[in-house]
A = this chain, B = another copy of it.
Amino acid sequence: MTSAAYTGRDGLDAISIANRGLNYGDGVFETMRVHRGELPLWPRHLARLLEGAKRLGTPMPDVDFVEARIAVMVSAVEASVLKLLLTRGEGGRGYSPPDDALPTWILSLLPLPPMPAALRVHPCETRLATQPALAGIKHCNRLEQVLGRAEAVRAGCDEGLMADMAGNPVCATSANLLVLHEGRWRTPPVDACGVAGVLRGWLIAQGLAEVASVTPRELDNADNLALCNAVRGILPVRALGAREWSPHPATGELQARLAMAYPMFEHAGTNP
Q: Which residues of A contact B (CB under 8 A)?
A: 3, 5, 13-26, 29, 56-57, 85, 87-88, 93-97, 106, 108, 113, 126-127, 129-131, 133-134, 139-150, 152-153, 165, 173-174
Residue among A17, A134, A165 with the highest chain B CB neighbour number at 10 A: A17
Q: How many copies does the complex hold?
A: 2
Known: A130-B165, A133-B144, A134-B143. 14 other contacts (CB 8 A): A15-B19, A15-B22, A17-B108, A22-B22, A22-B140, A23-B142, A24-B140, A25-B143, A57-B150, A95-B149, A96-B152, A96-B153, A127-B131, A129-B131
CA distance A29 to B29 in the complex (A): 23
Residues of B within 8 A of A93 (CB): 113
A143 touches B26 (CB 8 A): yes
What are 26 A-B pairs with beta-carbon distances under 8 A? A5-B17, A17-B106, A21-B22, A22-B87, A24-B140, A24-B145, A25-B141, A25-B142, A25-B143, A26-B142, A26-B143, A57-B147, A88-B146, A93-B113, A94-B149, A94-B173, A95-B145, A95-B173, A95-B174, A96-B150, A96-B152, A97-B146, A129-B130, A129-B131, A130-B130, A133-B147
- The residue of chain B having its C-beta at the shortest distance from the C-beta of A139 within the complex is B143
- CB distance B96 to A149 under 8 Å? yes
Name the contact of A141 in the complex, choosing from B17, B95, B143 (C-beta under 8 A): B143
Most buried by B among A16, A97, A133, A148: A133
Chain B contacts for A173, CB-based, 8 A: 94-95
Residue from A21, A26, A129 having most chain B Cβ neighbours under 10 A: A129
Nearest residue (CB) in B for A145 is B95
Contact of A14 among B13, B20, B149 (CB under 8 A): B13
B-side contacts of A20, CB under 8 Å: 146
Q: Which residues of B contact A13 (CB under 8 A)?
A: 14
* Nearest neighbor of A126 in chain B, beta-carbon distance: B133
A95 shortest CB reach to chain B, Å: 4
Q: How far is the CB of A131 from chain B (nearest CB, A)?
A: 4
Is there contact, CB below 8 Å, between A143 and B29? no
CA distance A94 to B108 in the complex (A): 13
> Which residues on the B side are within 8 Å of A87 (C-beta)?
22
Looking at the complex, which one of B94, B131, B144 makes contact with A144 (CB distance below 8 Å)?
Answer: B131
Sorted nearest first, the 4 A-B pairs with minimum C-beta distance are A25-B25, A14-B14, A129-B129, A141-B141
